[in-house]
Chain A
């Protein structure tokens, strides 16, 4: 026996089914049960009355629409202001910065090999390798001028501590102490210098 298809069931529910479909129900308990289940679902839905806000709501609805229309269109960077996305971006930026910093600290001192012409008396064709100090990039104390930091700052400026904590970005108790204990002497000295500079800058 071929059972009723979804379209026939819907037509039966709405009283527009063909007579063959109606006749099928008399000889098919499965389809009869299915139709009954569909009817009970409609019955459950009908218990949910239409929502209708107060008249005051409608008085302000149209003006709210107009305010939104007249508001400046959002820019592409607005997504950064959503707390969760900002938290993710800030977290990613911090991780990248930390990974980059850690890599820089672990790198051995690179000594470029510069080839010079052989001095008098040396064998013909023999070359001497002279070492020169690696070019050192001056540390950037001016964080306000740092473009990368500006991205992190922009992303995080609307970030509440609770949101950061919810995203797992907030430090655990004792994290700062552990981080400092794991620093080398030079790193601690640099950290102290940065803190002093920041205290001077802010007048704290």
Chain B
């Protein structure tokens, strides 16, 4: 059964259909939230909030966009509206030694984790639209036109945001 059919059943009051939608999209929604907040606890809370909002918005969902796009849109709004995002301190990427991932030892894995944390901290400091464009394009590999639908903007604006996000990310990681 595809998403559109599940939505129709859910709109008719079938909770099991909505559960199926949740199970189908929960991983992507969680990962999107995780990219925004950088920790499991908040990502879990936000991801659940996304589906609660989706359930309440079900009667108004006309099916103009794909369910995945619709859920991504809700998730981005929920994440961007979240007030307090903890921004950990991070060091310049140049200070972190490159890691040979092919022969990764325990200390190298720790180093890689630290480096990832620094990247997350820098991403968290980007302006909202740039952060959203970067996360959706880089981590979720969505095409620019779909990102434009999610963010309610044009493809050109999405590309500009993506460009500025990358440039700012580089600058943030160098400046600290």
Interface residues of A (CB under 8 A from B): 6-7, 9-11, 13, 34, 37-38, 40-42, 44-53, 57-58, 61-62, 64-66, 68-69
Q: Is the CB of A10 within 8 A of B162?
A: yes
Question: With the chains together, A50 CA to B144 CA distance in Å?
Answer: 20
Q: Does B142 contact A (CB under 8 A)?
A: no
A50 touches B31 (CB 8 A): yes
Task: Please name all residues of chain B whose beta carbon is closer than 8 Å to the beta carbon of A65 when the two chains form the complex.
Answer: 22, 48, 51-52, 55
B: interface residue count bin: 35 or more
Cβ contact within 8 Å between B52 and A41: no
B-side contacts of A48, CB under 8 Å: 115-116, 119-120, 139
Residue in A38, A52, A65 whose Cβ sees the most chain B Cβ within 10 Å: A65
Q: Does B160 contact A (CB under 8 A)?
A: yes
* Residues of A with C-beta under 8 A to B22: 61-62, 65
Q: Considering the chains assembled together, what is the distance between the CA atoms of A37 and B47 in angstroms?
A: 33
Q: Closest approach, in angstroms, between the C-beta of A56 and any C-beta of chain B?
A: 12
Check A6 against B170 for contact (C-beta < 8 Å): no
Whether A6 touches B160, Cβ cut-off 8 Å, given contacts A45-B119, A47-B116, is: yes
Once A53-B30, A62-B22, A68-B52 are accepted as A-B contacts, the answer to whether A41 and B169 lie under 8 Å apart by CB is: yes
Contact A44 B119, beta carbon cutoff 8 Å: yes
A and B contact pairs by CB, cutoff 8 A, 23 listed? A6-B160, A7-B156, A7-B159, A7-B160, A10-B144, A41-B166, A41-B169, A42-B166, A44-B173, A45-B123, A45-B169, A48-B115, A48-B119, A50-B31, A51-B31, A51-B34, A52-B31, A53-B40, A58-B26, A62-B19, A62-B22, A62-B26, A69-B55
Chain A contacts for B123, CB-based, 8 A: 45
Q: Bound complex: CA of A35 vs CA of B22, how far in Å?
A: 40
* Residue in chain B with minimal CB distance to A40: B170
Q: Are A38 and B31 in contact (CB under 8 A)?
A: no
B window 127-176: CB within 8 A of A = 134, 138-139, 144, 156, 159-160, 162-164, 166-167, 169-170, 173
Report the separation of the CA atoms of residues A149 and B30 in the bound assembly, to the nearest whole angstrom: 43
Q: Do A61 and B167 contact each other (CB < 8 Å), given the known contacts A50-B31, A68-B52? A: no
Q: Known contacts A6-B160, A45-B169, A51-B31: does B44 contact A57 (CB below 8 Å)?
A: yes
Check if B163 sits within 8 Å of A51, measured CB to CB.
no
Kindly state the separation between the CA atoms of A9 and B51 in the bound complex, as whole angstroms. 36
Find chain A residues with CB under 8 A from B169 CB: 41, 44-45
Give per-residue flags for B90-119: 1 if the beta carbon is below 8 A from chain A beta carbons, else 0: 000100000100000000000010011001
